[in-house]
Amino acid sequence: MGHVAAIKYALELAEELVIVIGSAQDSFSLKNPLTAGERLYLLNKVLANELGPDYCRRVYVVPVMDIEMNKVWVQYLRMLLGDFDGVVSGNPLVLRLFSDMGLAAIRQPMFNREECSGTKIRQLVLSGSDSWKKCIPPYLLPELKKFEFEERIRQLASEG
């Protein structure tokens, strides 16, 4: 639910928001068990539920593949997305890259990160605990069940 709070925070700062789904090429891995399409689907569901059906007037979601060249990553994003004014992120490297390009780089507050990070959720799934579900908006739980989220994580860990 930290992502929801982060999105709402960013929308207080900007008229329009582009949300980048990073590592779009990665899926069925322990770090990114869901495909970019599955992540996009879930994020759009969250946006519609949390911001209302008109969210698309202010928020755009774009899957972006990694390029493994940090120094040119901001230019790569410009090529894909067009002009933008800056970034709101909790990632120190992202903030540095944008700042180095003379763009606004705003550190977002961390919301519930210790309890509900993606890493923590995957650890809880692997431990057999259902407590990870408190970190997910309730309306997403049936969607994750359709994706066989828990089974996928367990299988990926066993293949490790």
pLDDT at 109 (0 to 100): 83
**Token pair in block for residue 125:** 């799934």
Report which of 64, 60, 47, 44 is spatially closest to residue 4, judged by C-alpha positions: 47
CA–CA–CA angle 145, 37, 116 (5° rounding) = 55
Give CA–CA dist 149/152, Å, rounded. Answer: 5
For range 127-144, the mean pLDDT: 95
CATH pick for 2-109 out of 3.40.1260.10, 3.40.50.620, 3.40.1280.10, 3.30.160.100: 3.40.50.620
Domain ranges in the chain? 2-109
pLDDT in tens, 115-130: 788 899 999 999 999 9
As a whole number, mean pLDDT of residues 10-39 equals: 95
Q: 73-86 in b/e burial notation, b at 16+ Cβ within 10 A?
A: bbeebeeeeeebeb
Average pLDDT, the chain: 93
Closest CA to 78 of 87, 88, 91: 87
| Mean pLDDT within 17-37 | 96
Residue 103 reports pLDDT greater than 70: yes
So what's the pLDDT on residue 110?
Answer: 74
Position 112 pLDDT exceeds 70: no
Please determine, for residue 1, whether its predicted confidence score (pLDDT) is greater than 60: no
Higher pLDDT, 128 or 5: 128
Binning pLDDT at 50, 70 and 90, where does residue 54 land?
confident
How many residues in the chain? Answer: 160
List the structure tokens of 144.
């994750």
Task: Compute the C-alpha angle 57/1/120, nearest 5°.
Answer: 135
Six-digit token string for 49: 């539920």
Residue 46's identity, in one-letter code, is V
d(CA 40, CA 21): 7
CA 113 to chain centre: 13
Q: What is the mean pLDDT of residues 35-41?
A: 97
pTM greater than 0.95 (yes/no)? no
User: CA 131 to CA 113: how far, in whole Å?
Assistant: 15
CB 80 within 8 A of CB 86: no
pLDDT band at 56 (very low <50, low <70, confident <90, very high): confident
